[in-house]
Copies of this chain bind each other. A is one copy, B any other.
Amino acid sequence: VEAHAPRRRHRIPCRSPGDTTGLQAHIASGRIVAADIVAVMGKTEGNGCVNDFTREYATTALAALLGTHLHLPAAEVEKRVAFVMSGGTEGVLSPHVTVFSRKPRHRSRAPAGQKRLTLGIGFTRDFRPEEMGRRAQVEETAKAVRRAMDDAGIDDRRRALRAGQVPPALLQPRSATRAPAASTPSPPTPTSRWATRAAPRRWAWRWRLGEIQPAQVSDAAVLRDWSLASSVASASAGIELDHNVVIVLGMSAARRAANWSSRTTSCATPSTPARCGAPCRRWASPTAKTAKRVVNVFAKAEASPDGLVREQRHTMLNDSDINSTRHARAVGAVIASVAGRSLVYVSGGAEHQGPAGGGPVAVIARA
């Protein structure tokens, strides 16, 4: 039992997409043990769109660094650590990574029965282009999410869902070829999380998660029936991957390694632009004292497909110089303003994640 439970989630600013000196310093000082790292979520300073290579570059650089510490090739590192990167920080966001680690032999010191934040990861197999956005990817993703939840010790999925305490699972697939438009099949269980998909926008597939009844799932619903949406899923798409990487954060009463002893809690709620600061305000009113409790904020956002924001016209769908996913930077500004920090994770493109024009917001805060 440790005298001082080390922090399990570190926000580390980055000076460039390939900059790993921050993590290196944490490892050198012992604040982070390389072998304990299980997941990294980061914001990089690319355009967040199709030709954004900063996501891939950041992952490559981080995997190379960890490889030297773990004496593993970078490719092997990517099989045991879940890297999820989202591009785009213009506005007030600041490039950074949040590093999640856990001790293999660690036991939670939380009182029995009390829930603590926990994390699990999962991977799917590589997909063939024609599987992207179709049944194969959906089913494999559902399996990977379930493995991640088992890994995290989140046993009561229904309750987790109801409480809205199962935050971002992120998917990053890639289409090597230009496959035809896609569909989504029936998920294995009700209320499980599985990927719907988003558009082959300029040849890149974008995938999304949802919690929906199997019968509701059809090809025709994808990118059309916006009522089919997950309130707790956040998916980023990158052309650099052929498989899905899943991170599940949730609350668990299980006393095991995955259950951090620090009294950390989280919340996740679907949000519309009108309310996108609300979940943060619960944890971080703009005073120095409470804001310090916030570890990080994770959110998805999108320009509303009906072209309206607060009943007036927005211009994101017509702007040919500014991709509509960059609308997320406006939401990021609101969240940063409430949370009192620019190191927040707000990612663009929230199709089937939250209501149309909205997206999930999850706050990790110290209890």
Residues of A within 8 A of B (CB): 13, 15-18, 45-47, 49-54, 56-57, 60-61, 64, 89-96, 178, 202-204, 239-240, 273-274, 276-277, 307, 309-310, 312-323, 326-327, 329-334, 336-337, 340-343
Ordered nearest first, which 3 A-B pairs have the shortest CB separation?
A49-B320, A91-B330, A330-B333
A328 CB, nearest partner CB in chain B, Å: 9
A61 CB, nearest partner CB in chain B, Å: 7
Q: What is the CA–CA distance of A337 and B343 in the complex, to the nearest angstrom? A: 20
**Which residues of the partner chain B approach A202 to less than 8 Å between Cβ atoms?**
317-318, 320
Q: What is the CA–CA distance of A331 and B310 in the complex, to the nearest angstrom? A: 17
Q: What is the CA–CA distance of A307 and B239 in the complex, to the nearest angstrom? A: 16
**Which residues of the partner chain B approach A52 to less than 8 Å between Cβ atoms?**
320
Q: What is the CA–CA distance of A56 and B90 in the complex, to the nearest angstrom? A: 21
Q: What is the CA–CA distance of A64 and B273 in the complex, to the nearest angstrom? A: 37
Contact A309–B342 (Cβ < 8 Å): yes
Q: What is the CA–CA distance of A13 and B313 in the complex, to the nearest angstrom? A: 8
**Which residues of the partner chain B approach A240 to less than 8 Å between Cβ atoms?**
16, 18
**Which residues of the partner chain B approach A319 to less than 8 Å between Cβ atoms?**
45, 50-51, 90
Contact B47–A320 (Cβ < 8 Å): yes
Contact B310–A336 (Cβ < 8 Å): yes
**Which residues of the partner chain B approach A46 to less than 8 Å between Cβ atoms?**
53
Q: What is the interface of chain A mostly: helix, strand, loop, or mixed?
A: loop
Q: What is the CA–CA distance of A334 and B343 in the complex, to the nearest angstrom? A: 16
Select one of B64, B90, B93, B314 contacting A322, CB under 8 A. B90
A364 CB, nearest partner CB in chain B, Å: 18
**Which residues of the partner chain B approach A312 to less than 8 Å between Cβ atoms?**
13, 94, 96, 341-343
Contact B341–A310 (Cβ < 8 Å): yes
Q: Which residue of B lies closest to A322 (CB)?
A: B90
Q: What is the CA–CA distance of A7 and B319 in the complex, to the nearest angstrom? A: 33
Q: What is the CA–CA distance of A95 and B50 in the complex, to the nearest angstrom? A: 16
Q: What is the CA–CA distance of A47 and B16 in the complex, to the nearest angstrom? A: 16
**Which residues of the partner chain B approach A203 to less than 8 Å between Cβ atoms?**
307, 317-318
- State whether A309 and B53 are in contact (beta carbons under 8 Å apart), knowing that A18-B60, A342-B314 are contacts in the complex: no
Q: What is the CA–CA distance of A318 and B331 in the complex, to the nearest angstrom? A: 21
Q: What is the CA–CA distance of A330 and B337 in the complex, to the nearest angstrom? A: 10
Q: Which residue of B lies closest to A337 (CB)?
A: B334
**Which residues of the partner chain B approach A320 to less than 8 Å between Cβ atoms?**
47, 49-52, 202, 323
Q: What is the CA–CA distance of A202 and B323 in the complex, to the nearest angstrom? A: 11
A55 CB, nearest partner CB in chain B, Å: 11
A287 CB, nearest partner CB in chain B, Å: 12
Q: What is the CA–CA distance of A336 and B60 in the complex, to the nearest angstrom? A: 33
Select one of B18, B323, B331, B340 contacting A53, CB under 8 A. B18
Contact A50–B318 (Cβ < 8 Å): yes
Q: Which residue of B lies closest to A204 (CB)?
A: B318
Q: Which residue of B lies closest to A64 (CB)?
A: B64
Select one of B60, B323, B329 contacting A61, CB under 8 A. B60
Q: Which residue of B lies closest to A14 (CB)?
A: B313
Contacts A13-B313, A178-B307, A273-B337 known; 9 new A-B pairs at CB < 8 A: A13-B312, A18-B240, A51-B319, A94-B312, A202-B317, A204-B318, A321-B323, A322-B322, A331-B333
Contact B318–A51 (Cβ < 8 Å): yes
Q: Which residue of B lies closest to A44 (CB)?
A: B53
